[in-house]
Amino acid sequence: MKKHNFSAGPCILPEEVLQKASEAIINFNEDNLSLIEISHRSKPFVDVIEKARSLALELLGLENKGYKALFLHGGASMEFLMVAYNLLNKKAAYLNTGTWSDKAIKEAKAFGEVIEVASSKDKGFNYIPKGYSIPKDADYFHCTSNNTVAGTQMKVFPETNIPLVCDMSSDIFSRQLDFEKFDLIYAGAQKNMGPAGTTLVILKEEILGKVERHIPTMLNYKTHLDKESMFNTPAVFPIYVSMLTLQWLKDLGGISFIEKVNEKKAALLYGEIDRNPLFEGIVAKEDRSIMNATFVLKDNTLTEKFDKMWQEANINGLHGHRSVGGYRASMYNALPLYSVQALVDVMQELERKN
Ligand code: PLP
């Protein structure tokens, strides 16, 4: 029986996507060649990457609105660097909501002045700062929509006239947002899309060309826009699986459908965390992530018992991030509601036995 996989990534994918992906490894398009043996410039693969790019834009409602979608290498961490390389001329503004924002800020500092408009570092990133102001003369504003590590999520995004850049690695395609607000969105594939190895970047071309420095070819967004993600060999398999997952999501009813499912899963688990006297959540309630729920046992002496119980219940990946401890239940798009119910059942059984 497949495990209830609450792992923070990588990566949880729908059963039917895994099935099709494994078939393509052996025999792609019934051509007696593997997907990973064919040329990335052959029509069958060009069709795959074009479909993946257009599905990404379609699902986000960004088709024909001046956006382009790219599949790049280097993970979201490479985007920390590329965003600054391509957009930071003199000064950029960043909101610091966790480990990943912190890393993005560190990279940006190599290219110019970085204004940290607000930070929740003082409380271990257990909330999303509010009421900050963004300098009007900054080249762009950068934020992280979902803090995968602590389990917080931005529910509102600031109004600003400068380009808005967002790392959506851990909640892209999980909830409906006004995506047109953003000028550049990036996300590593490995939470809601596909295997690690490719990063989705969605951007408006008009924000480029404003920095004075020379940008190395591979780090220049223009290179990849001009070559439609085919400047060098793309990550063929992760892009194929991403395409399958995006098609799966579209067939289900798109983001508005999955958002309702995700809200149901989150309500079920947070409801139990709040009801069960043995547990408590660790982030501000209004900032709780619907993707990554973090919680602790109030009584540490129950840890061994609880860990044994959820492992015996076929649950995987529940330990919190090493920097936070406790538990983290990641409920990405492909995690079924019954998996969350299985975890809730274990939490209730622990309560009954104590
Ligand atoms: N940003 C966020 C929000 C993440 O959750 C992660 C990884 O979990 C990253 C960035 C880093 O992604 P990558 O490992 O693809 O560089």
pLDDT for 29 beyond 90: no
**Cβ of 77 less than 6 Å from ligand 1:** yes
Ligand 1 atom 9: the closest Cα is on which residue? 76
Residue 126's pLDDT is 97
Per the rule left: phi > 0, alpha: psi between -120 and 50, beta: everything else, 314 is left
User: Is 169 near ligand 1, meaning CB less than 6 Å away?
Assistant: yes
List, for residues 168-187, the tens digit of each pLDDT value: 999 999 999 999 999 999 99
Q: What is the 8-class DSSP label of residue 320?
A: P
Q: CATH 3.40.640.10: which residues of the chain?
A: 15-252
- Residues that are catalytic: 100, 167, 191
Residue 228: per-residue pLDDT: 95
Q: How confident is the model at residue 163 (pLDDT cuts 50, 70, 90)?
A: very high
CB 67 within 8 A of CB 203: yes
**CATH number, domain 15-252, options 3.20.20.70, 3.30.70.360, 3.40.640.10, 3.30.505.50:** 3.40.640.10
- Tell me where in the chain the CATH 3.90.1150.10 domain(s) lie: 255-353
pLDDT for 324 equals: 87
At 26, is the pLDDT very low, low, confident or very high (cuts 50, 70, 90)? very high
**pTM of the prediction?**
0.97
pLDDT value at position 10? 76
Question: pLDDT tens digit string along 107-139?
Answer: 999 999 999 999 999 999 999 999 999 999 999
Short-list 153, 139, 154, CA closest to 93: 139
Ligand 1 pocket check for 321: Cβ under 6 Å: no
Strand 113-119: give its sheet, edge to edge. 67-72, 199-204, 184-188, 164-167, 141-144, 91-96, 113-119
Looking at residue 2, its pLDDT comes to 84
* Binding-site entries for L-glutamate: 41
Beta bridge partners of 164: 141
Q: CATH: 3.30.360.10, 3.90.1150.10, 3.30.70.980, 2.60.40.10. Which one for 255-353?
A: 3.90.1150.10
Q: At 272, is the pLDDT very low, low, confident or very high (cuts 50, 70, 90)? A: very high
